Structure 1
Amino acid sequence: MLALVAILTLITTGDLDQLIWIALLAVAGIPAVLAPHHRVLAPLGRFAEVVIVGFAASQVADEASLGGMGAAAILPYLSVPLTVAALQRRSREGVALLAVTTASLAVGGFLSGNSADEPFGHLGQLGYLAVSVQWLVLAALGLYAAGTLQRIWQARGESRPQPYAEATRLLTQLRSVARQLPGATLDPGSISEHLLEELRVLVRADRAAVLSVSGGGRLVVLAQVGVDRVDWETTLDADSAIADAWASQQPQTAPRSQARSHSGGDVSALVVPLVAGVRTVGLVTLEADAANAYPAPVVARVTALTRPAALRLEAALLFDEVRSLATNEERQRLAREIHDGVAQELVMVGYGIDNAMATLPEDATETAGELRTLRGEVTRVITELRLSLFELRSEVDRHGGLAAAMAEYARTVGASGGLRVHLSLDESTARLPAATEAELLRIAQEAITNARKHAGASNLWVTCAVDPPFAQIEVSDDGQGIADQRPDGRYGLAIMAERAERIRGRLEIRPRHPSGTTVAVVVGTTPRRDNVRDSVTASEGE
């Protein structure tokens, strides 16, 4: 600003001597540069600047052919002290600076040569007065605008909480909302089943399902209803109404079935996206064995019902994801602490026993035997810890699936326990919801661990059949059965029951003939599989 007013002063007056005012302004601005937040020096510097501007404006106006033009050359510098005062939230100082500026301009104009003969009557004096008033008004408006802008910045800064404070606030709200929800549930499966029940009351639907996104560009079936087992089209890159509805966020009707297992005939299909805000969180697929079953009025009624359901489903999915992330993080933390703490200390104990055995005299046979027994027990505990670490770190891979995770765990545990493992895996390309897969894996791990630790078995049979939304897991052994289970084994059975209930599954623990135990968990219903099994049984009977 100093450079600007210097150039304007030279253009207006053509007198180098007038640059003395610019030099004085530079000196007056030194405190504001060196100590901008000093409580005394910085304000004094700003008051000195406006006083110099007031007197300089009148003197420069004397040297110009028109007083107003000369005053306008140096008055723009008023923006510097006034803006600084406003940005530092010194509103009273800003008003005082304006008052001092007005007084300086008046005194300077009175003492100038323009007012010597005919005060306020000369043309130059009128121009000087008009320009002075104009710049004072602009300075006052600028002072107000700068103060308003500073208040807005301050309000935005105060309304932007720290990340952890914001997270705490949101989680607290989530806890409160979860307690107040109807039925106190944030389970995606339950919400989806309730939505399908409402839709079947409203419109005809011989088959219906709620689908949600999963890994690998596929959809998972959260819930479905119908007289037959349905194999839905779950790929988002296929040429189907499901893929079109997901991409366009608009309801889609189709004269063909969206179920790959449907046998044919007259079918009407309706796919309605569940959109929460701008994000598609799921799809509702309805099918009726009739032509033109979903005209525009029916589509409008379905859309009106699914619109609020989208928000409920999104809340449930988000809560499920947060809970899954927190659980996985806690499992990883526990695994790290066990590995870096107890496991390492037990290894050092084992090394200490080995060193003690190496330094024993040859005639200390009894002591050596006790140390060998102790060393074997330490080795056993270390093996148990390593298996526990493997169980904590085991997760269902996004691409590998539930069957692969179960097979890896069964082989590892079977090898460490001397068990012969028999695997029967039947998994479709469609996936279960991530939370369901995780719970099924934990149930299978608990059953396999119980068989290894408590059953005294030689063989382990693991069966995994997944055909979403149906899944069946069976773990059998040929051990001593469950009659003499230890307390920790019974505790493991209780944990499995809780996990099965969480995913609305059915847990069954029964004796295996001729010996051993079978732990089975079933999720969903599978009339198609039952019909096939019944037909095969009938054929064998014939």
Structure 2
Amino acid sequence: MPASTSRQPSTQPLAAAARAVLLALVATLTLFATRDAAQLWWIALLGVAGLPAVLAPQHRLLAPISRFAEVVVLGLAASQVAADTHLSGVTGGLGASAVLPYLAVPVTVTALSRRFREGAALLAVAAATLLASAAFTQVDGGPQLGQVGYLAVCAQWLILAGLGLYTAGTLQRVMRVRGEGKPQPYAEATRLLTQLRTVARQLPGATLDPGGISEHLLEELRVVAKTDRGAVLSASGGGRLVVLAQIGADRVDWETTLDADSAIADAWATQQPTVSARSQARSRHSGEVSALIVPLVAGVRTVGLVVIEADTAAAYPPPVVSRVTALTGPAALRLEAALLFDEVRSLATNEERQRLAREIHDGVAQELVMVGYGIDNALATVHEDAEETADSLRTLRQEVTRVITELRLSLFELRSEVDRHGGLAAAIAEYARTVGASGGLRVHLSLDESTARLPAATEAELLRIAQEAVTNARKHAGASNLWVTCEVDPPYTRIEVSDDGHGIGDQRPDGHYGLAIMAERAERIRGRLEIRPRQPSGTTVAVVLGSSPRRDKVRGSAAAAEGE
């Protein structure tokens, strides 16, 4: 309403001018068609009928009544003028055409005021008046309603008026979307983000971490239902699930494929709790098991699944299922908010990294390049007898070149992201190759990545840890070779970076600071950071996330074979 009211003053002069122009036009056309000045009294009556709409355009009763009076008078006038022109030997359709153009005035006014229903009603009243008046008007001994030419002209003008009403409505909607729609999403986003910030500060522990919320939910479920192992899974795209948190004596290789024939896939599709006598772990195939899979549904959308298992039969009767669903209902909303917040935070972080990269490239990097050019110019003008000055300038030039190289590598690191389609291993491999080549390192890659994906936030943290490890090896280790191993089989992941340098004990303080950052990142994603010497020389930095029973079994068999 406010927007409509604010635009109303600009339409009032336009409507009044349109009435005056159309009245003059139909008066001229009527006089030309009938050659009888007496017929102009219909035009005068039309002006009187529209006067209240001009004087009180916003009145709730007078304005609509005035417009309906206009179309009634217009219908009567069209019929009578058409009959008079027919008696004068002129086609009756010409007389109607002289008056009916005025129909555009009341219809257009309703369209400009966004009263589209009133406009449609005006067209209906005009059609009814034209038909009724023609039925009672006699022409050549019969009702005017039988005159094909008259009916054709009336239908033509009614259709044109209807098209005008439709076009005006479409233009109004387009203008509203263009004029008001653009800032609306930003205003709504601002409002929601402000509310989210306020709510986040009031949450227990002030956290919106999906992993933390998932772990808390599993601990709550352990109290109300027997749970030897359990997990919270969430969608990652590509028809697969990712493990947000899990509990139990052993880490489990859960079924994460939604297109498989499993209770997990059924629960996701039906949004109903599912009880199964089969384990949902791909690594477990024997023994008595009860599994309960409960979808986490927020509104109409499934945001995740809770899987709990007990090593006994029939561990989850209906009362237990009811107690579990009583906890998972509220948790679904908390988890959805955390996942959305995580996505917004990830987008904001990536955007900020890109912004910083642009600022550094366009600012400090360009300035350093200009300093290098200045040193080159100074070297070109140094006299031959000033060898000491020339050596100092060459040393300074080498240092500037080194800083520019470091800066470019920092820009590459800022811009590096895990591609949605390429995966974590590809991103780490690209970074290791680029940085290794710049540092004169021979890079050896061992990549083993399954089609399953980790949560996007976890992949981003693992990439940053790998980047820091590679950077430390290049800058501080004095190494010749770099070995990068990447094993990704969710929920298990192992990233290992080794070098043949002089070892971690001789690193500079900023290198130790980098190790502290890696430890913080690993803790954030509930991973384990391992730093150990490499034999015969060098350092190995590894981050391990979860565990893989299948891989542990393979390693155990290999170790046993070596022992024999």
- What TM-score, normalized to structure 2? 0.67
Amino acid at match of 1:439: E
Amino acid at match of 2:371: V
What is residue 509 of structure 1 aligned with on the other side?
A: 531
Higher mean C-alpha deviation, range 448-457 or range 233-242 = 233-242
What is residue 478 of structure 1 aligned with on the other side?
A: 500
Once the 2 structures are TM-superposed, how far is the Cα of residue 331 of structure 1 from its aligned partner? 0.6
Once the 2 structures are TM-superposed, how far is the Cα of residue 187 of structure 1 from its aligned partner? 1.1
What is residue 386 of structure 1 aligned with on the other side?
A: 408
Amino acid at match of 1:234: T
Once the 2 structures are TM-superposed, how far is the Cα of residue 261 of structure 1 from its aligned partner? 1.8
Taking only the aligned residue pairs, the percentage that are identical comes to 77
Higher mean C-alpha deviation, range 219-228 or range 291-300 = 291-300
Q: Distance in 2 between matches of 1:237 and 1:526?
A: 22
The answer on 1:209 being equivalent to 2:203 is: no
The answer on 1:23 being equivalent to 2:40 is: no
Amino acid at match of 1:333: R
What is residue 133 of structure 1 aligned with on the other side?
A: none
Once the 2 structures are TM-superposed, how far is the Cα of residue 315 of structure 1 from its aligned partner? 0.9
Matched residue SS, 2:452? coil
What is residue 192 of structure 2 aligned with on the other side?
A: 170
**Per-residue Cα deviation, 1:476-535 (whole angstroms, up to 9, x for no partner):** 333333444334323322322222222122334344444433333333345665565455
The answer on 1:187 being equivalent to 2:209 is: yes
What is residue 471 of structure 2 aligned with on the other side?
A: 449
348, 354, 376: which is aligned to 1:332? 354
- Mapping of residues 328-477 of structure 1, within 5 Å: 328-358=350-380, 365-477=387-499
Q: Distance in 2 between matches of 1:476 and 1:482?
A: 11
Q: Distance in 1 between matches of 2:206 and 2:270?
A: 33
231, 238, 248: which is aligned to 2:260? 238
Q: Distance in 1 between matches of 2:210 and 2:547?
A: 17
Once the 2 structures are TM-superposed, how far is the Cα of residue 191 of structure 1 from its aligned partner? 1.3
- Mapping of residues 118-133 of structure 1, within 5 Å: none
Matched residue SS, 1:214? strand
CA RMSD of aligned residues (A): 4.6
Matched residue pairs, number?
449
Once the 2 structures are TM-superposed, how far is the Cα of residue 310 of structure 1 from its aligned partner? 0.6
Once the 2 structures are TM-superposed, how far is the Cα of residue 469 of structure 1 from its aligned partner? 2.3
What is residue 251 of structure 1 aligned with on the other side?
A: 273
Higher mean C-alpha deviation, range 210-219 or range 195-204 = 195-204
Matched residue SS, 2:238? helix
The answer on 1:223 being equivalent to 2:245 is: yes
Contact 1:31 1:41 in 2 (8 A): no
Once the 2 structures are TM-superposed, how far is the Cα of residue 358 of structure 1 from its aligned partner? 4.7
**Per-residue Cα deviation, 1:153-200 (whole angstroms, up to 9, x for no partner):** x9xx99998433332222221112112112322111121122222223
Matched residue SS, 1:490? helix
- Mapping of residues 273-352 of structure 1, within 5 Å: 273-352=295-374
Q: Distance in 2 between matches of 1:29 and 1:359?
A: 94
Matched residue SS, 1:242? helix
Higher mean C-alpha deviation, range 372-381 or range 482-491 = 482-491
Q: Distance in 2 between matches of 1:429 and 1:285?
A: 22
Which runs of 5 or more residues in structure 2 are unaligned?
Answer: 1-18, 31-35, 81-102, 115-175
What is residue 107 of structure 1 aligned with on the other side?
A: none
Matched residue SS, 1:306? helix
Amino acid at match of 2:416: S
Amino acid at match of 2:43: A
**In 2 relative to 1, CA 20–216 (structure 1 residues): closer, same or farther, beyond 3 Å?**
same
Contact 1:509 1:519 in 2 (8 A): yes
**In 2 relative to 1, CA 362–199 (structure 1 residues): closer, same or farther, beyond 3 Å?**
same
Amino acid at match of 1:338: I
Q: Distance in 1 between matches of 2:416 and 2:515?
A: 20
Once the 2 structures are TM-superposed, how far is the Cα of residue 218 of structure 1 from its aligned partner? 1.5
Matched residue SS, 2:488? strand
Contact 1:460 1:477 in 2 (8 A): yes
**Per-residue Cα deviation, 1:224-245 (whole angstroms, up to 9, x for no partner):** 2334442222222223332232
What is residue 518 of structure 2 aligned with on the other side?
A: 496
**In 2 relative to 1, CA 443–27 (structure 1 residues): closer, same or farther, beyond 3 Å?**
same
Contact 2:253 2:491 in 1 (8 A): no
Q: Distance in 1 between matches of 2:248 and 2:447?
A: 27
Q: Distance in 2 between matches of 1:40 and 1:359?
A: 87
Once the 2 structures are TM-superposed, how far is the Cα of residue 319 of structure 1 from its aligned partner? 0.9
